[in-house]
Homo-oligomer: A and B are copies of this chain.
């Protein structure tokens, strides 16, 4: 039987990887559809809000990576136990997303010199500010980002962290021992380990 979840994204990790991590953690079977940019042009009008990733489930479609991640997190019991816990998780996730979104300014700049300056600012200012804050949280929360236990915020962060390494051109977590340990622990979770071993190799 085909999986009941179909996730469509480009042939990269990108904003779909947190969702793929969540499905894999919970051992929920999903169809991992990877399209080329020229296929996207034909599909764009069918996607809610014209963005990928897109989730299809029981004949319904939804877009937006964080929204889909939160939905899957509830299915695999990595959400909060009450509304305030959900608020705390959501706040960490949105802070990580805000930091990662700044990366897109690099691509948006066509002037080579300016692009270098933006990238330099992101690597030297944006990343350290974000990581210092996350390192402190992880230290205060029993090795996790929030609530003293594993939540989807941890999977969200670890699934995107390779991308930070690529932008910075070095292992950005090396100065943050608590975040490094968190990454190791998440990657050692049985469902995640299996996923990382079997996922298609892509450079970003």
Contact = CB atoms under 8 A, between A and B. Distances in A.
Interface residues of A, number: 33
A63 B49 CA distance: 27
Interface in A64-95: 64, 66-68, 70-71, 74-75, 83-84, 86-88, 90-95
A91 B15 CA distance: 14
B48 A67 contact: no
Contacts of A49: 91-92, 95, 133
A51 interface: yes
A66 B51 contact: no
A68 B95 contact: no
Interface of A: 48-51, 55, 57, 60, 62-64, 66-68, 70-71, 74-75, 83-84, 86-88, 90-95, 101, 105, 108, 129, 133
